Amino acid sequence: MAQLADREIELPQPPRNRWLGLAWPPFATWQWKILFVLTLINLLNYFDRLIVIPMFPFLKAEFGVSDFRLGLLASVFILVNSLAVLPFGLWADRGSRQKIMAFGVLFWSVATLLSGVANRFRALLWARALVGVGEGAYAPAGTAMISDCFPASFRARVQSVFNLGMLVGGVLGLAVGGVLSQWIGWRWAFFVVGLPGLILAVLTYRLRVPIPASVEKAPAAWALLKIPPYLVVMLGGMFVVFSGATFITWGPAFGMRYHHLTVARASAWLGLLVLVGSLAGVLLGGAIADRLQARWPWGRALTIAGSLLLGTPFLLWAVMTDSLVVFLSCLLVSSFFLTCYHGPATAVIHDLTPERAHGFAFALYLFVIHFFGDTMAPAVVGRVSDISELRHGLQIGVAANFVAALCFLAVTALIYLRQARR
């Protein structure tokens, strides 16, 4: 059975008189550099991942394809990415995480450049699939390397900073992708995103990481399935991303149909409010989780459960109200609570699993939540909308969020029981 505490890097601890543990110790320069570079790569990761969505009108005009085939660009990426994380997660636990990350960044950057020279839609589809392979190599090794380089007592906070890249990069991809495509053309937009990745790949390869490689042998992958709290974390994460994909995909359409927003206003308002709420939520969620973890071994899991429970009523209120002001306000508040999840979730996974299994443990988690979560949500909610109405479809997303909260309450209880037996 995995231990809840991994080895610590010896560092001065922060002052204890700061609210919610927001004070950080004086980490070494190399640690800040690693966190900065990896967060920047994560930003580029999600920028690259989502930039293709606002390109759809330009790609449709260029290649004359149906909406279904355009949708395949997103579906194929998710499918390939979900499958790629598994072998790369195993590799990350048995080889150099730094070299694997550099390879992943280089691979997806080259694939992005190839996207810009595709002369047929099928070639573009293949290029986006290759982007999914490269990005699948990065995430398991990146999150594991961050946990390697920082004390376990600050694990949720540093993982939250890493996840800032995901949030900012995703919003930029959706917002800036269309602007770039209109100003300089969709092909050049791919070049603008792909070229910085080549530089970041070199920076990643040349990072100096003065942490000795662990002599611990990586456990067999199936051994992770013997850790009950870890299994429930994956189940809860699946419901979280199902809910998130529901509102990301159908939120703008809901604003247009029920609150008479234009396309531009729906995208601008929802994007701005979700970004503001998410940035605050992901940072504060990591701080609270680490503070509670210092008191109880189940503190991070309890933070996730509590934030999801607090966010669910606001999410439901946003779906049910007929007032635009209430809708936008509830969206802001719910975004704050629901994104408290990101940093603590990675930290909980690494708390529950052996150090040399961190790469595959996170890879398996990504596979489960994406393959069974956000790949299904848009179609399921769309089908409910066709049969009934979109509001009923979004209520499924609300219910999924509530079930996720119950799952993390179960994780909290399982960790408590495991500690009580010791």
User: Looking at beta carbons, which pairs linking 230-233 to residues 24 or more positions away fall under 8 Å?
Assistant: 230/349, 230/352, 230/353, 230/361, 232/407, 232/408, 232/410, 232/411, 232/414, 233/301, 233/345, 233/348, 233/349, 233/352, 233/365, 233/407, 233/408, 233/411
Q: Could you tell me the pLDDT band of residue 103, with boundaries at 50, 70 and 90?
A: very high
Residues of the chain with CATH 1.20.1250.20: 28-210, 220-422
pLDDT computed for residue 253 by the predictor:
74
Percent of the chain with pLDDT over 90: 36
pLDDT computed for residue 1 by the predictor:
39
313-333 residue pLDDT tens: 999 999 999 998 899 899 899
How large is the average pLDDT for residues 341-358? 90
Residues 9, 277 contacting (CB under 8 angstroms): no
pLDDT computed for residue 387 by the predictor:
85
Q: Could you tell me the pLDDT band of residue 352, with boundaries at 50, 70 and 90?
A: very high
Residue 23 pLDDT > 70: no
Q: Residue 185 is encoded by which pair of tokens?
A: 């053309």
Q: Could you tell me the pLDDT band of residue 348, with boundaries at 50, 70 and 90?
A: very high
pLDDT computed for residue 181 by the predictor:
81
273-308 residue pLDDT tens: 878 888 888 889 999 999 999 899 999 999 999 999
pLDDT computed for residue 55 by the predictor:
82
Instruction: Kindly tell me the burial class for residue 342, based on how many C-beta atoms sit within 10 Å of its own C-beta (0-12, 13-18, 19 or more).
Output: buried
pLDDT computed for residue 11 by the predictor:
42
Q: Residue 145 is encoded by which pair of tokens?
A: 């390397």
Residue 267 pLDDT > 70: no
| DSSP assignment of 371-407 | IIIITTHHHHHHHHHHHS-HHHHHHHHHHHHHHHHHH
CB within 8 A of 273, min separation 6: which ones? 328, 331, 332, 335
How large is the average pLDDT for residues 25-48? 86
> CA 227 to CA 348: how far, in whole Å?
12
Higher pLDDT, 395 or 74: 395
Mean pLDDT score of the chain: 84
Q: Specify the range with the lowest mean pLDDT, choosing from 54-58, 69-73, 151-155, 211-215.
A: 211-215
Q: Could you tell me the pLDDT band of residue 12, with boundaries at 50, 70 and 90?
A: very low
Phi-psi region of 185 (alpha: psi -120 to 50; beta: other; left: phi over 0): left
Q: What crossing angle do the helices spanning 299-320 and 263-293 adopt, rounded to 10°?
A: 160
Q: What Å distances lie between residue 165 and 172, 334, 382, CA to CA?
A: 10, 20, 29
Closest to 347 (Cα-Cα) out of 411, 404, 398, 406: 411
Closest to 281 (Cα-Cα) out of 219, 336, 350: 336
pLDDT computed for residue 114 by the predictor:
93
Q: Specify the range with the lowest mean pLDDT, choosing from 114-118, 260-264, 351-355.
A: 260-264
At 95, give phi and psi (nearest 5°).
-130, -160
Lookup result for tokens 């194929």 = 76
Tell me the CATH class for 220-422: mainly alpha
pLDDT computed for residue 415 by the predictor:
93
Q: pTM of the prediction?
A: 0.83
> CA 408 to CA 100: how far, in whole Å?
31
- Other residues' Cβ atoms within 10 Å of the Cβ of residue 249: 18
> CA 296 to CA 99: how far, in whole Å?
36
Lookup result for tokens 């540093």 = 158
Q: What Å distances lie between residue 162 and 139, 151, 240, 336, CA to CA?
A: 10, 15, 19, 17
At 234, give phi and psi (nearest 5°).
-65, -40
Higher pLDDT, 141 or 13: 141
Residues 258, 312 contacting (CB under 8 angstroms): no
Residue 8 pLDDT > 50: no
pLDDT computed for residue 317 by the predictor:
95
Higher pLDDT, 3 or 120: 120
> CA 170 to CA 255: how far, in whole Å?
20
- CATH classification of 28-210, choosing from 3.40.50.300, 1.20.1250.20, 1.10.10.60, 1.10.540.10? 1.20.1250.20
pLDDT computed for residue 184 by the predictor:
86
CB within 8 A of 64, min separation 6: which ones? none
| DSSP assignment of 180-196 | HHHHH-HHHHHHHHHHH
Lookup result for tokens 């701005």 = 272
126-163 residue pLDDT tens: 999 999 898 888 888 889 888 888 888 888 889 988 98
